[in-house]
Amino acid sequence: MSVSQLAYILITSFCTLVFAFYGYVIVLAFIGLRQAKRMHTPYEYQPKVSIVIPFRNEGHNIRQLLKDLARQFYPISGYEVVLVNDHSSFEELQLVKEYLERTSVKNILLLSNPKRGKKSALAYGMSKAHAPLILQTDADCRLPEHWINDMVQLFRDASVELVLGPVAMISGKGFWSRFAALDFLSLQASGLGLALMGRSFMGSAANMAYRKSTWLKHADFEGVQQSGDDTFLIQSLAKKNASAIAVAGMEAALVKTKAPDTFTAFFQQRLRWGGKSKNYKSAFAKALAVDVFLLNAFFLLLLALSFIDHSYIPFLLSFFITKFYLDLSVLIRFAQISRQRKLLRLYSIISLVYPFYIVGTSLTILLAPGLIRWKGDPVQKAKVKT
């Protein structure tokens, strides 16, 4: 057996093993999304809730958010809104105060974060929240009119401690904006699909609900980044009791947020998200992060080797085509839920760019972590305690 033949066997065998784990995860997510259910009205359970929203320089977005909250089909005395200002500029903060004077939403607390960073702002808001149930979203999100109703219904079951809600990233006209929206769709599809199968490891702080007592038990993470309040909370709870995590009714609870407009904004966002993986508490999440990196690195390796040795071409094509349709099956299902099927028109092109993006992002996180920033601040290590 020649050296080139041995290399072919080793590379294709290891690639097959990596792909087998990835395929298992995607099939699991697909089965989970097939089980997704709509939430049925009437909404009979309407407990007291606190909606906690950290923000920095989000004046105009908060105006839209307050309009959405004013349209909620929920008793106005049944919820409070806790806005935590994380060092906004004077002008932006004045805009927020003006909107608060005009809104019909009652029971609004406007607080100022005594520290700096989203995680500390969330912790401060949590310390001032009065209700036993917490709804969390971001200032730049748009909420459906039954959002509160849909997110709280599953808490009728006393064993449920955290509820994940779906999020759709709405793209602009640019390529990178649409790339970001489709990439986020894939993250939502896999995260919620696996959660429905009892393998929760990821969610979005743009649409989450949990018991305050649960946050107090699981939010003390030492040595983690300023971002990641959502992922680390989910993984900590899942490690103790995976069955305590549920998924809200998909369509009616769908929250929308805007996709980054430029490559720089998109890349920074993904660096921040990907940078959390080093601190994952879940072995499954760590294994999946490594597997996704290896899978895409192998694709680039096979592509390069195919130019040198044509015997790799059949394996490369079968590898790419199988992954292409496996991913597409999950994307189609969640695109139906989030009403984003138009995004799939770019799927063929994006699937070719995707391996370069994954490998490039991963190497940047490993080799240049200092580039990761949030709202202009470096992503620093932090310890959150209340």
| Max Cα-Cα span within the chain | 79
Q: What is the pLDDT of residues 111-161, one digit of tens each?
A: 999 988 888 899 999 999 999 999 999 999 999 999 999 999 999 999 999
pTM above 0.95, yes or no: no
Looking at per-residue confidence, does 370 or 323 come out higher? 323
Instruction: Please report the beta strands in 181-229, taking only residues with DSSP state E, as ranges in sequence order.
Output: 208-211, 224-225
Q: Cα dihedral sign for 276, 214, 238, 158?
A: negative
> Which tokens belong to 243?
């069955």
- Is 50 exceeded by the pLDDT of residue 110? yes
> What does the pLDDT read at residue 377?
62
> What does the pLDDT read at residue 384?
46
CB atoms within 10 A of CB 274: 19
What's the mean pLDDT in 3-31?
93
What's the mean pLDDT in 197-221?
89
Question: Which CATH homologous superfamily contains domain 1-386?
Answer: Spore Coat Polysaccharide Biosynthesis Protein SpsA; Chain A (3.90.550.10)
pLDDT band for position 369 (50/70/90)? confident
Instruction: Select from 252, 330, 344 the least CA-distant residue to 34.
Output: 330
> What does the pLDDT read at residue 383?
46
What is the average pLDDT score of the chain? 89
> What does the pLDDT read at residue 251?
80
pLDDT band for position 71 (50/70/90)? very high
d(CA 329, CA 45): 35
- Is 70 exceeded by the pLDDT of residue 207? yes
pLDDT band for position 106 (50/70/90)? confident
Query: Domain boundaries in the chain?
Result: 1-386
d(CA 70, CA 225): 34
Looking at per-residue confidence, does 378 or 5 come out higher? 5
Distances (CA, A) of 332 to 5, 84, 207, 281: 39, 37, 21, 30
- Is 90 exceeded by the pLDDT of residue 79? yes
Sheet holding 162-164, edge to edge: 108-112, 79-85, 49-55, 133-136, 208-211, 162-164, 245-247
d(CA 252, CA 128): 29
37, burial (CB in 10 Å: exposed 0-12, middle 13-18, buried 19+): exposed
Q: What is the DSSP letter of 105?
A: -
Using DSSP bridges, classify how beta strands 141-142 and 133-136 pair: parallel, antiparallel or unpaired: unpaired
64, burial (CB in 10 Å: exposed 0-12, middle 13-18, buried 19+): middle
Q: What is the pLDDT of residues 242-273, one digit of tens each?
A: 999 999 987 889 999 999 999 989 998 888 88
